[in-house]
Structure 1
Amino acid sequence: MQNPEENPWQVRSEKVQYDNPWINVTEYQVINPSGNPGIYGKVHFKNLAIGVLPVDEDMNTYLVGQYRFVIDQYSWEIPEGGGIIGADPLEAAKRELLEETGLKASQWTELQRMHLSNSVSDELSIVYLARGLEQHEAEPEDTEQLQVKKVPFEEVYRMVCAGEIMDSVTVCAIQKARLMQLENTL
């Protein structure tokens, strides 16, 4: 019997169906784990997904609101953006925090690494906790029309639990921070 941790998929061929500066979509002709022919599509992300949970000394955090084209709705989430694969993700986190909120932080802790949708994509997200906040001028990209609001952490936690915030990076960051809060490690 094959080791269950070894790849049971056989790739017969692959063809890039779409490619732009951010993603590439490849279709694979495969032999699946049961030995039957099939197809599999993969969305490859050319950047890391970076998230930052800024928390001030009074346990407030900062949410960024924006209209998300892909889901066709407004979304409240922690500051997020992309980081170049192979570059220091912490530098990308610092850049995103400043761009979107105007905040700089003196203390950084990696909260979580996670695959965002490992059934169809290889997107990796790295989420940081930012403390020791200092306000500066925001520097949003020209594709961003952002609204920033300072919210007590407990309110953001309530919003996550009530399903008012559905962005996966934000949900994970808030849940992880809540767990750390309960364990007195936040």
Structure 2
Amino acid sequence: MQHPEENPWKIKSEQQVYDNPWINLTEYQVINPSGNPGIYGKVHFKNRAIGIVPLDADLNTYLVGQYRFTLSQYCWEIPEGGGPLNEDPLDAAKRELLEETGLVAANWTAIQTMHLSNSVTDEFCLIYTATGLTQHEAEPEDTEQLTVKRLPFDDVYRMVCDGEITDSVTVTAILKVKLLLMENRIIL
């Protein structure tokens, strides 16, 4: 598909507003595409998002439950986390799966890439399936208080369709895996 390559936004100035080990917030003074002055804020992520859909031979998957500070509510999600930009994303996925669930997978397949909120952030995400699972000891980070559930994949698909799961990485991953299963493109 053809699209213009030229950026219609003109940056007049930029100022770092906030910085921590995970994110950076910059405010830009701009001339917008219509030629008018304005401001734009951008959250830069210092890690890439990683999501994993572990699938066992009986077509069960694993969800991780935790209280999400930003939403002030408990959420169910696939195993997910962040990987430094200079780290191989697959290595980050393997680490996150082990940390959160104690699972180690023999087979990994990248199934989706996506930007999570491209109107205000540059956060990039990779999603994998993990099969050939063996159980080991979970190694959660000290900031995580997690509950892990093993459920039939179709139950998790129903939870997504019914709006019980709203995490964007999980919704995307589960819908993509359902499509791949329907097309017989996942080998357990």
Say which SS state the counterpart of residue 67 (structure 1) adopts. strand
The normalised TM-score by structure 2 is 0.97
Q: Counterpart of 1:67? A: 67
Q: Counterpart of 2:43? A: 43
Q: Deviations over 1:44-83 (max 9, x none)?
A: 0000011111000000000000000001100000001110
Q: Letter of the aligned partner of 1:83 in structure 2?
A: G
Q: RMSD in angstroms over aligned alpha carbons?
A: 0.7
The normalised TM-score by structure 1 is 0.98
Structure-2 separation of matches of 1:73 and 1:87: 31
Q: Report 1:103-122 matches (<5 A).
A: 103-122=103-122
Q: Deviations over 1:101-142 (max 9, x none)?
A: 000000000011100000000000111100000000000000
Say which SS state the counterpart of residue 96 (structure 1) adopts. helix
- Displacement, 1:87? 1.5
- Displacement, 1:6? 1.8
Say which SS state the counterpart of residue 172 (structure 2) adopts. helix
Q: Letter of the aligned partner of 2:124 in structure 1?
A: L
Q: Would you say how many aligned residue pairs link Structure 1 and Structure 2? A: 184
Q: Is 1:154 aligned with 2:175?
A: no
Q: Deviations over 1:10-67 (max 9, x none)?
A: 0000000000000010000000000000000000000001111100000000000000
Unaligned stretches of 5+ in structure 2?
none
Q: Counterpart of 1:97? A: 97
Structure-2 separation of matches of 1:154 and 1:179: 12
Say which SS state the counterpart of residue 120 (structure 2) adopts. coil
Q: Counterpart of 2:22? A: 22
- Displacement, 1:5? 3.2
Structure-1 separation of matches of 2:132 and 2:6: 44
Structure-2 separation of matches of 1:116 and 1:86: 19
Structure-1 separation of matches of 2:18 and 2:177: 37
- Displacement, 1:86? 2.3
Q: Is 1:123 aligned with 2:123?
A: yes
- Displacement, 1:9? 0.3
Q: Is 1:171 aligned with 2:185?
A: no
Q: Counterpart of 1:84? A: 84
Q: Letter of the aligned partner of 2:114 in structure 1?
A: M
Structure-1 separation of matches of 2:5 and 2:32: 15
Say which SS state the counterpart of residue 139 (structure 1) adopts. coil
Q: Letter of the aligned partner of 2:141 in structure 1?
A: E
